[in-house]
Amino acid sequence: MKRFLLFLPLLIAIVVGIVLFAGIGKDPTKLESALVGKPVPAFSLRDLHNPDTMLDQSLFQGQVSLLNVWGTWCPACKDEHDDLMWLAEEKGVNIIGLNYKDNREDALVWLDRLGDPYRKTIYDPRGTLGFDLGVYGAPETFVIDAGGVVRYRHVGVVNETVWEQTLLPVINDVRGNG
Amino acid sequence: MVRIVCLVLALLLPAFAAADVADVYEFSDRAEEQRYQNLIAELRCPKCQNQNIADSNAPISKDMRDVVYRMMNDGASNEEIVESLVGRFGEFVRYKPEFDSRTFLLWATPAIAVFGGLLVVAGVVIRSRRSGPESPALSAEEKARVDKMLADQDRSS
């Protein structure tokens, strides 16, 4: 019994070490969305290209889509734009844009210059839908299933690696279940 | 005179510092303002993760303060306000997480540590009582060995 007690500090150190080691490498700035498993919040916002057209959550019905939150004020959004173009053109991914806290003129110039990977772009100048989605920093990309339910949220830039290792498996999984 | 000026400037300094993040919100009375301050002090900014939304200058914190204020004006209770933000941004935004099966260890660890410490102290006390003066730490034989070892060491040094 006494012998065992001598090893107690070592045991505690090992347990604490394992617990702390498990935390290394996790990026604490990437939070899981509170909306996973819930439908896209109800909204009614204008189309970026056609101010007279109103868009709402029915936009996400019928097929799996990526919802990409972006703004011209966001440098990382520029970094991922080429990859979004590649996804839309080469992979045929259905991407919906959410132009977040931006202004229409700048956004249209941006899409004109860099190309437009979005099937539709929701114009959200005051960030209301962004807030309901729990967006805390652009760019963010949501995977939304054909029933309009949020399945995954990726915070940060989308590139080939993220697509192949993170988003594509989620989409395949969603398609398999749906 | 110089001292007085310095004192006045020093007193003004925190006022300027605090004015940095303060938004212009109107409250009907002090109690409401205090309630607002308490709420934004215990909500965490999802962007700048180690600040509450009261301290943070991030745009998202500003939005969250706006929503807290608007919901208060609409007559929402504290729980409703916090729940609505948790529903959007996740449990993460609570600085005081709910007590449930996942947060059990978080809340109970201090009590467990104190209890464990008390057990250790009690064990030590009981043991020292039991092995009182009638059973000394060393037997006569051991005592003799120790004395011899010490004597040897003294001689060699």
Q: 3-class SS at B18? A: helix
For the CA atoms of A116, A121, A125, A131, the dihedral, rounded to the nearest 10 degrees, stands at: -120
Q: CA-CA distance, A55 to B91, in Å (whole number)? A: 30
Q: Does B91 touch chain A (CB under 8 A)?
A: yes
Which pLDDT belongs to residue B104?
Answer: 86
Is residue A3's pLDDT more than 70? yes
Task: Count CB-CB contacts under 10 A for residue A157.
Answer: 17
**What is the CB-side half-sphere exposure of residue A151 using CA atoms within 13 A?**
23
Our CA-based measurement puts residue B104 at a distance from the nearest CA of chain A, in whole angstroms, of 17
- Report domain extents, chain A: 31-177
Q: Which residue has the tokens 């941006």?
A: A110
Helix B78-89 to helix B30-41 angle, to the nearest 10 degrees? 30
In chain A, what residues touch B67 (CB-CB under 8 Å)? 131
Quick one: which of A85, A78, A65 has its CA closest to A149? A65
Q: 3-class SS at B117? A: helix
Our CA-based measurement puts residue B60 at a distance from the nearest CA of chain A, in whole angstroms, of 6
Q: Residues A88, A115: contact at Cβ < 8 Å? A: no
Residue of A nearest to B60 (CA): A136
* Phi, psi (rounded to 5 degrees) for A160: -60, -40
Q: Residues A140, A34: contact at Cβ < 8 Å? A: no
Q: Which ranges constitute the DSSP H helices of chain A?
A: 2-6, 8-23, 75-90, 104-114, 128-132, 160-162, 168-177
Angle at A34 between CA A116 and CA A31, to 5 degrees: 75
pLDDT tens readout for residues A122-169: 999 998 999 999 998 889 999 999 999 999 999 999 999 999 999 999
Q: Which of B58, B67, B88 sits opposite A34 (nearest CB)?
A: B88
Our CA-based measurement puts residue B85 at a distance from the nearest CA of chain A, in whole angstroms, of 8
pLDDT tens readout for residues A8-57: 899 999 999 998 998 887 777 777 788 888 999 999 999 999 999 999 99
In chain A, what residues touch B86 (CB-CB under 8 Å)? 34
Q: Which of A101, A131, A136 sits opposite B47 (nearest CB)?
A: A136
Q: How far is CA A40 from CA A2, A131, B1, in A?
A: 60, 12, 65
Q: Are β-strands A65-70 and A95-100 bridged in parallel, bridged antiparallel, or unpaired?
A: parallel
In chain B, what residues touch A136 (CB-CB under 8 Å)? 46-47, 58, 60, 89
CATH topology assigned to domain B23-119: Helicase, Ruva Protein; domain 3 (1.10.8)
Pick one of 3.40.50.150, 3.40.30.10, 3.40.50.10190, 2.40.340.10 as the CATH number of A31-177: 3.40.30.10
Does A31 contact B90 at a Cβ distance shorter than 8 Å?
yes
Quick one: which of A57, A92, A70, A114 has its CA closest to A163? A92
What own/partner pairs with CB < 8 Å and gap ≥ 24 does B28-36 have?
B32/B72, B35/B72, B35/B78, B36/B68, B36/B69, B36/B72
pLDDT tens series, chain B, 157 aa: 667 666 666 666 555 555 455 567 888 889 989 999 999 999 999 888 888 999 888 889 999 999 999 999 998 899 999 999 999 998 888 888 888 887 888 889 999 999 999 999 999 999 888 876 666 677 888 888 988 999 888 877 6
Q: Which of A31, A33, A131 sits opposite B63 (nearest CB)?
A: A131
Q: Which of B60, B86, B90 sits opposite A32 (nearest CB)?
A: B90
Does A136 contact B60 at a Cβ distance shorter than 8 Å?
yes
Which pLDDT belongs to residue A5?
Answer: 80
Task: Count CB-CB contacts under 10 A for residue A158.
Answer: 25
Q: Which residue has the tokens 């064990």?
A: B123
Tell me if the bond preceding B46 is cis, omega within 30° of 0. no
Handedness of CA B108, B111, B114, B115 (dihedral sign): negative
Q: Which residues of B18-44 are buried (b: 16+ CB within 10 A; e: fewer)?
A: eeebeeeeeeeeeeeeebbeebbebbb
Q: Which of A34, A101, A127 sits opposite B89 (nearest CB)?
A: A34
Q: Residues A144, A129: contact at Cβ < 8 Å? A: no
